[in-house]
Amino acid sequence: MKTQIDVAVLGLGNMGKTHVGAAKESPYVNRIYGYEPDETFRKSRSAELDVIPESLENIIGNPAIRLVYIASPNEAHVPQAIMALRAGKAVLCEKPMGMSLEEAEKLIAVQEETKGFLQIGFELHYSNMYTQVKQWIDEGLIGTPVNIQCRYYCCEFHKKNSWRSLHSGSFLIGEKLSHYLDLQRWWFDQPAKSVYSVSAPKVVPYFNHRDNHQIITKYNDGGIATLNFIMYIAESFHDDPLQEMIAKQSDDGHFLQYHICGTRGAIETDVFRRRIRRWEFNDGAEQLESKIVETITFDPKEDLQWFHNTHGQNVRVAELVARGLPSEVPARDAYESMKICFAAEQSESEDRIIML
C-alpha cells in the first residue's frame, strides 16, 4: 500500500488550479488544503476546486501536511517557502525564485540549513521534448555542446491592465524566460561565466515591463547560448473551436525553437511543428557533411507532456515527498539559473556585460 500525504496549495488562481488537479490525480495524496489570503474568496474558490479551505497559520502548523505547492503572487514565493521549510515541510515553489538575487540567496540558505525538500517549478525538466535533448547530449550523440540558440516569438498575451502588464521592470525574464535560460544551463551542464542582454524600445505601449529581450550567456568552457524573445510579432490568438491551437499558431509568426549545436552534431526542437530532429556531422572528402539521422514527432493530445509538463512535474513531486526521495531539480541548480535571469535584468539596466 502506498504511503499517502496531505498537501496544501497556496494560491488558488489558474496555476493553483493546475497544482490541485495534479494532487488529485496522485495516488500518494490524501487530503488537499487550499489557501487564499481573503477568507471569503478562499472558501468560495476552495468549494470550486473541491479542496479544504484553511488559513496559512493552520497549514504551516499542521504536521500532517507534508508538501506545500506555492502558486501565490511572486512577492510571496520566498516568505511562504521559508515558512514552510522551517516547519519541516517539502516545498514546490513556482518561479521566480525571489524578487531579487539576495532574496533567492536567502531561500537557498534556509534550504541548506534545514536540509528540506525544495524544488522550483522548472517543469520543462519533465517535458519529453527537452528530456530527449538531454538524453541525446548525455549519450554523446552530438559531441560537446558549443552553441545553443533559442528563438521565442509570440503574441501579446498579458492583456491590458492585468497584473502582468502592470508589473514593472523586466520580470518577464524571471517568471517566463527563466524556463528557457534554465534549459540552456541544464544542457551545457556547467556554470555560466557572463551575461549580456539588451532590449529594444517597447512596441506594446501599456506594458510597464519590457516586451523583448536578447540574452547572450557565455559558459565556462566557452560555449555560447542566446535567447531571442519578442512578445508581439505573432498574430493575436483568438480561440476558434474549429481550429486546434498549435496548428493555428504554427505559421502565423509564433516560434519556439531551439538549435543545440555540438562538435559532432546538432538538435532542433520545434514546438509549433511538434517535432524534434537530430543531425550527425561527418568529415567528408571535401567538407563537413551534415545529415538528419533522427526525427521524432508527437500527437496533439500529448502536447503538454512534450513541451510544458507542469502536471507531470507536480504529480512526480508528490511521489518523491511521499517516498522520502530527494528533489530531482536541486534548489542549488535552480538558483544558478536564476542568477542568469537576474544578471540579464542587470545587464539591460546598466548596459554592460555582467560577470558571474
Q: What is the pLDDT of residue 164?
A: 85
Q: What is the pLDDT of residue 170?
A: 58
Q: What mean pLDDT is predicted for residues 244-270?
A: 93
Q: What is the pLDDT of residue 2?
A: 81
pLDDT in tens, 47-99: 999 999 999 999 999 999 999 999 999 999 999 999 999 999 999 999 999 99
Is residue 172 very low, low, confident or very high in pLDDT (cuts 50, 70, 90)? confident
pLDDT in tens, 7-30: 999 999 999 999 999 999 999 999
For residues 191-208, one letter each, b for 16 or more C-beta atoms within 10 angstroms of the residue's C-beta and e for the rest, the string is ebebbbbebeeeeeeebe
Give the whole-angstrom CA distance, residue 85 versus residue 80.
9
Give residue for cell 468549494. Answer: 47
**pLDDT: which is higher, 245 or 161:** 161
pLDDT in tens, 294-347: 999 999 999 999 999 999 999 999 999 999 999 999 999 999 999 999 999 999
- In this prediction, what percent of the chain has a pLDDT beyond 90? 91
Does residue 243 surpass a pLDDT of 90? no
pTM over 0.75: yes
Q: What is the pLDDT of residue 246?
A: 87
Q: What mean pLDDT is predicted for residues 205-211?
A: 94
Does residue 202 surpass a pLDDT of 90? yes
Q: What mean pLDDT is predicted for residues 115-142?
A: 98
Does residue 239 surpass a pLDDT of 80? no
Chain length of the chain? 356
Is residue 1 very low, low, confident or very high in pLDDT (cuts 50, 70, 90)? low
Mean pLDDT, the chain, integer: 95
Collapsed DSSP state (helix, strand, coil) of residue 202: coil
Does residue 169 surpass a pLDDT of 70? no
Sheet holding 145-154, edge to edge: 288-297, 275-283, 265-270, 255-262, 145-154, 224-231, 212-219, 192-198, 354-355
What one-character-per-residue DSSP string does 236-288 give?
Answer: PP---TTS-HHHHHTTTT-EEEEEEEESSEEEEEETTTTEEEEEEEEE-SSSE
